[in-house]
Structure 1
């Protein structure tokens, strides 16, 4: 869990810096940086998606995962929780919910997050998560400067998600073979593509409702 804990504090520190410099950056600089993050997210998503060895697993994982997430109303409930948190801390930031959700997806759907947690869960050193912490720290500076304090609070679901994935990997070492990890990574890449499209404001995609696809990817890859 060392890697995840370091990652948690990297986001907190980076977000704090972003909030401090927010008022000093022109809107045009914030906008172009945000667009750059969107393009980078698309690129990483494509790289990850190409790791699939079985396209049918990806297809059925995304379809069934999306249906499951829509039925469970994951995005709607998450937004509700984010709004409740916003009221609790009495934040007036209009982009609080967007910042929290966008940052969580960006920090947690990447291959470094998935592979890093699995690596640490299997007993290896947390080198990958430590490297990811550095990248997330700098990314959170840019995100917080444009989306506000919601980015900082994304560290909470990050801690829960990555911590849970690390524990999951430690308990199921014999199941997490290379093909399963590849399919999990590939489906995570598709989710990042959706996030990149959202960041570039091309179209609104309910990426949170697609999160169950990650579970389906593990199940299908294990059996097929």
Structure 2
């Protein structure tokens, strides 16, 4: 069981290492450089989202997933709950108001959790015990955490906890639901995730203020659809 979580664990350790390096490098002379790199990274995130969502072969399932998932996220106010949790963590672990702890935690968690590598990597680890994608993602996340923490501080590092829970749950779930996860279902989940990745990139560029956390349930609607079909439509 523990071997299934190897990729998720390595991913989180690399996020923590990148955050530590970024915080150590955070000096007045380097902060402006970090801000510019952060903006460039926002453009890269948008490009990744556009590239990953370019295939809309299952448009009706994707559309239904967005409508139902976003409605659920908004109804339960996931973004608000996540933000309040981040503020509580800030109170517990730091007394400084200079760094946007909550912003760093939220943006980093969403960035590291939403995207095709997080989804497909977790599914690959759960189904085939292959951790290559998650470890590769961990290297990218570690570099990203370093860049983000130079601007947003230590809150970025706390995202590792949520990344481990998220990717670990997906990995364990994939190992249990392996017969239901066809290539079409995985493609639909990945496409929905990449659409929301565009929103995260726009938020990083301060173009929008999208409540991306409220979009998370939409990524699981295709899996629920597959489960319902399996149980009731033979």
Aligned length: 224
Aligned equivalent of 1:148, options 150, 153, 163: 153
Q: Report matched runs for 1:1-224 at 5 Å.
A: 1-23=5-27, 25-93=29-97, 94-220=99-225, 223=229
In the TM superposition, what is the alpha-carbon distance from 1:80 to its structure 2 partner?
A: 0.6
Normalising to structure 1: TM-score of the pair? Answer: 0.95
Tell me if the contact between 1:10 and 1:134 (Cα under 8 Å) persists in the aligned partners.
yes
SS in 2 for 1:22: coil
Normalising to structure 2: TM-score of the pair? Answer: 0.91
Query: For residues 56 and 220 of structure 1, what CA distance do their matches in structure 2 show?
Result: 12
Any gaps of 5 or more consecutive residues in structure 2? none
In the TM superposition, what is the alpha-carbon distance from 1:24 to its structure 2 partner?
A: 5.1
Any gaps of 5 or more consecutive residues in structure 1? none
In the TM superposition, what is the alpha-carbon distance from 1:51 to its structure 2 partner?
A: 3.2
What is the Cα-based RMSD across aligned positions, in Å? 1.5
In the TM superposition, what is the alpha-carbon distance from 1:95 to its structure 2 partner?
A: 0.9
Query: For residues 213 and 76 of structure 1, what CA distance do their matches in structure 2 show?
Result: 17
**Deviating 4+ runs (over 2 angstroms):** 24-28, 217-224
Query: For residues 217 and 52 of structure 1, what CA distance do their matches in structure 2 show?
Result: 14
Tell me if the contact between 2:199 and 2:210 (Cα under 8 Å) persists in the aligned partners.
yes
In the TM superposition, what is the alpha-carbon distance from 1:56 to its structure 2 partner?
A: 1.7
Query: For residues 124 and 155 of structure 1, what CA distance do their matches in structure 2 show?
Result: 21
